Amino acid sequence: MLRLAPALALVVLLGPVACGLIATLLPAFGYLPALGGDHFTTSHFHEVLHVGGMERSLWLSYFTGLATTLIAFVIVWLFVAGWNGTAMFARMQHLISPLLSVPHAAAAFGLVFLIAPSGMLLRLLSPWATGFDRPPDWLLLQDPNGIALIAGLVMKEIPFLLLVTLAALPQTPAAQAARVANSMGYGRIAGFTFTTWPLVYRQIRLAVFAVIAFATSTVDVALVLGPATPPTLAVKLTQWMSDPDIAMRFAACAGAVLQLGVTVAAILTWVVGEKIAAAVVKMLRNSGHRFVRDAALRTAGAALTGMAALTVFAGLALLALWSVAGFWSFPDALPGSFNLRTWERTLPQLAGPLGTTLATGLIATAIAVVLTLACLEREARTGRTGGNRALLFIYIPLLIPQVAFVFGLQLFFLGLGWDASFPALVFVHLIFVLPYVFLALSDPWRAFDKRFVWVAAGLGQSPVRTFWRVRFPMLLKPVLVAAAVGLAVSIGQYLPTLLIGAGRWPTVTTEAVALASGGNRRVIGVMAFMQMVLPFVGFALAAAIPALLFRNRRDMGVAA
Amino acid sequence: MSTLHLDHVTIALGERQLLAVDTVVQPGETLTIMGPSGVGKSSLLAYIGGFLDNAFTASGAVRMDGEDLTQLPSHARRTGILFQDPLLFPHMSVAENLLFAMPRAIKERAAKAEEALAQAGLDGFSSRDPATLSGGQKARVALMRVLLAQPRCLLLDEPFSKLDTERRANVRGFVFGEAQRLNLPVVMVTHDAEDAHAAMNATGGEIIDLAANG
């Protein structure tokens, strides 16, 4: 059984991506017999490219994706380079970690409630500073250049990039290198950038590419914060894919191929940027400049990171506030009254999506955890790690825009008669849950002191018994944390749920995003609050269960 | 009582040969491998115990009771091992650590565990969290745990190097005493000459000094 685990994991990771890509490519070139497409043609590409505003949509996807990645990357770099190893750094780390579990859409709604013309920021400034007694007619959200979209993405990608960087840091001699560089008179940022950053960057590179892929092709965040006329490419394609006119599927698939092109172009642009940045860093390093006066940059790094975190937290608080708000007129900073009426009214329609969200998330996560444990245990017993190639495979579903293969996957499932079924929904979630569970669990699993296993073998314990009695309980905490990560990823899935579920399996996320255009803040508050609270409960349980089980075991590191 | 045969055992890392041993360890006797850290002396224990990393290449037979241990999976070899850290399982109580080690066929398990603790001078420690024990106490529990698994030989990997001088002699005496009492062949790896001499005085046996011939 164990021997099959890596192959099975590969099938889950690559199978749907490959099938989905092929099933996107064929209709893109006109071939989809079920819909009457029986010959190959490039006409759908011409059609797509002549749709009004298409050039703008392509540019928006490329630009917002790259800008998001660059801004988040620079902030994380400045923060890590400037503060790594300080007490402030450790505190910020604790502040940031929970943000990873907040679904993108919930964070986006939080930002809306904060910066909209009738949002909290302007309420706090009005009327004393602005003179407004009515929300101004400003285009702060869904601005045509996608600035709000970039802001919403940046604040969620900072925690991701930061945590990936933190995982890479212990594998570098960061502390010693910093001491050596500082003793030669280098400033903090320069010392870190010259000595350690190249080693760190090599390890987080795939994660950076994953951010580019996500940011160039996100649908849910762009629906909430992105421009509307024209929208980003992925949003437009999703509209076509859900169009009652089935013939639009051809255009949607052709567009999905273009989306793949946009993402690849963005990644290639980044790779060119890497070369230039490396050359510049090398030149500066060899020039001997010490860059001692970096206090302003360090402060900026910390301030921007802290601001991103506070923005998400403030947004989440506003979601909760709106969900219990009674009458709340502009520019009052607080509602005139509080009540549970919105909750009472929304709960009946919430029950179904809540059940689907939990069932899908828990089953997909359970499968992902079992597969990951089987792969890691197999690796531990054979001593063979997949190396860099395995890491690339794990990242594949995160490096290819969802639009590009989930469209095809939907058509593929349709052909098999699996569409809109619950197992298909769980399966498509598993594709995205598995990589994150694996990434979250592999480091602690591999860091486990193997001598415990050798001792157990010396005591005559079989590998199976050693797994269940020694390794698994000792690593229960990281296993549960990885499961919580998986659950959070599943809860946040919008596009795969929408398309594979075909509207028949609404979740709190699809419901929340569907409300975006309606604009009832109280109901959005309830839905988005549920969206954010579920992953949080998962992480709380992941901390509480081992603490309870091992409350009398000091070295299990969970005692209060 | 069985003898441990190391027949033409050689271990190499890439092109570099780390050690070559061809000897016999009698029951109750200790073979000591001495040498500075980094020469790969622990790899011999890993080879005997069955957990040598793939990066090493090894040849030669390890025979006991007419079996070649290298042909058995590590958990079937019954080669008890002690490291410099006691490595008590942190999620189990002291008694659970001992119960985990006992072969399934053994009856009256709890009583046997108590008995072993009493023997180590640790009466009443069964329900304790291993984390609350002192270094010397942990080392003694670790030894009792190995012995309760009924090993046919004992592998010691720098087992005393983390203990302070006072406890060191005490624990060392306890380990070699028990090995003698049970007539177990012992293979010890150490960088400490004092450990090596203590082993020879207590149990007899050979010392192979890797520094001397390398």
- What DSSP assignment string belongs to A74-138? HHHHHHHHHHTTSHHHHHHHHHHGGGGGS-HHHHHHHHHHHHSTTSHHHHHHTTTTT--SS----
What is the CB neighbour count within 10 angstroms for residue A170?
Answer: 11
- Best-predicted range by mean pLDDT (A6-10, B57-61, B192-196): B57-61
Tell me, what's the pLDDT at A476? Answer: 95
Calculate the average pLDDT of chain A. 91
Structure tokens, A279: 């050359």
Structure tokens, A163: 């945590």
Helix, strand, coil distribution of chain A in percent, nearest 5: 75, 0, 25
Q: Give me the total of CB pairs closer than 8 Å, taking one residue from chain A and one from chain B.
A: 80
Rounded CA separation A481/A540 (Å): 9
How many alpha carbons fall within 13 Å on the CB side of residue A231? 19
- Using CA of residue A274, residue A276, residue A277, residue A281, what is the dihedral sign? positive
Q: Does A348 touch chain B (CB under 8 A)?
A: no
Q: What is the pTM of this model?
A: 0.90
Structure tokens, B154: 């004992």
Residues of chain A in contact with residue B54, where contact means CB-CB under 8 angstroms, are 383-384
Beta bridge partners of A450: none
Residues of chain B in contact with residue A384, where contact means CB-CB under 8 angstroms, are 54
Tens of pLDDT, residue by residue over A78-100, are 999 999 888 999 888 888 888 88
- Tokens 């020879």 sit at which residue? B200
Residues of chain B in contact with residue A554, where contact means CB-CB under 8 angstroms, are 90, 129, 131-132
Does B39 fall in a domain?
yes
Structure tokens, A248: 């639009």
Tell me, what's the pLDDT at B1? Answer: 62
* Residue numbers of A between 473 and 532 with CB closer than 8 Å to B: 473-474
Do A464 and A49 touch, CB atoms closer than 8 A? no
Tell me, what's the pLDDT at A240? Answer: 92
Tens of pLDDT, residue by residue over A419-463, are 889 999 999 999 999 999 999 999 899 889 999 999 999 999 999
- The pLDDT of A205-224, averaged and rounded, is 96
- Tokens 């020039």 sit at which residue? A287
Through-space distance between the first and last CA atoms of chain B, rounded to whole angstroms: 34
Tens of pLDDT, residue by residue over A263-274, are 999 999 999 999
Q: Does A464 touch chain B (CB under 8 A)?
A: no
Cβ of B87 within 8 Å of Cβ of A452? The answer is yes
Tens of pLDDT, residue by residue over A483-542, are 999 999 999 999 999 999 888 899 999 999 998 877 788 999 999 999 989 999 999 999
What is the CB neighbour count within 10 angstroms for residue A450?
Answer: 14
- The pLDDT of A470-476, averaged and rounded, is 95
Contact residues for A385 (Cβ-Cβ < 8 A; gap 6+)? A379, A446
SS3 B107: coil
Rounded CA separation A82/A191 (Å): 9
Per-residue pLDDT at B24 exceeds 90: yes
Structure tokens, A399: 């490096």
Q: Which residue has the higher pLDDT, B35 or A205?
A: A205
Give the residue from A444, A439, A442, A446 showing the smallest Cα distance to A399: A439
Tens of pLDDT, residue by residue over B148-170, are 999 999 999 998 988 888 888 88
Rounded CA separation A106/A316 (Å): 7
Do A531 and A491 touch, CB atoms closer than 8 A? yes
Cβ of A556 within 8 Å of Cβ of B90? The answer is yes
Q: Which domain holds residue B173?
A: 4-91+151-213
Residues of chain A in contact with residue B186, where contact means CB-CB under 8 angstroms, are none
Residues of chain B in contact with residue A383, where contact means CB-CB under 8 angstroms, are 53-54
- What DSSP assignment string belongs to B74-86? GGGS-EEEE-SS-
CA dihedral A167, A168, A169, A174 (to 10 degrees): 170
Does B135 fall in a domain?
no
Do B101 and B145 touch, CB atoms closer than 8 A? yes
Rounded CA separation A10/A393 (Å): 7
Structure tokens, A400: 């290819």
Does B45 fall in a domain?
yes
Cβ of A455 within 8 Å of Cβ of B54? The answer is no
One-letter-per-residue 3-state SS of A15-66: HHHHHHHHHHHHHHCCEEHHHCEECCCCHHHHHHHCCCCHHHHHHHHHHHHH
Looking at chain A, the whole-number percentage of residues with pLDDT higher than 70 is: 99
Rounded CA separation A80/A103 (Å): 24
Residues of chain A in contact with residue B130, where contact means CB-CB under 8 angstroms, are 555
Per-residue pLDDT at A558 exceeds 70: no
Helix, strand, coil distribution of chain B in percent, nearest 5: 40, 25, 35
Mutate which: B43, B45, B91, B92, vs A, most A CBs within 10 A: B91
Backbone angles phi, psi at A118, to 5 degrees: -105, 20
Q: What type of residue is A217?
A: S
Q: Does A117 touch chain B (CB under 8 A)?
A: no
Tell me, what's the pLDDT at B143? Answer: 94
How long a stretch of residues is chain B? 214
Does B75 fall in a domain?
yes
- Tokens 């400034």 sit at which residue? A125
Rounded CA separation A235/B139 (Å): 64
CATH code of B85's domain: 3.40.50.300
Tell me, what's the pLDDT at A173? Answer: 86
Does B23 fall in a domain?
yes
Rounded CA separation A546/A558 (Å): 7
Rounded to the nearest angstrom, the gap between the alpha carbon of residue A438 and the centroid of all alpha carbons in its chain is 15
Tell me, what's the pLDDT at B212? Answer: 56
Rounded CA separation A199/A177 (Å): 11
Do A220 and A509 touch, CB atoms closer than 8 A? yes
**Who among B81, B101, B129 is closest to A454 (CB)?**
B81
Domains of chain A: 1-32+345-560 (1.10.3720.10), 45-322 (1.10.3720.10)
Does B145 fall in a domain?
no
Rounded CA separation A242/B163 (Å): 70
| Number of domains observed in the structure of chain B | 1
Does B126 fall in a domain?
no
Does B142 fall in a domain?
no
Give the residue from B204, B85, B78 showing the smallest Cα distance to B153: B78
Give the residue from A344, A343, A326 showing the smallest Cα distance to A335: A326
Give the B-side interface with A, CB within 8 Å: 46, 49-51, 53-54, 73-81, 83, 85, 87, 89-91, 100-101, 103, 129-132, 145-146, 149-151, 155
Tens of pLDDT, residue by residue over B46-88, are 999 999 988 899 999 999 998 999 999 999 999 999 999 999 9
Per-residue pLDDT at A560 exceeds 60: no
Tell me, what's the pLDDT at B123? Answer: 92
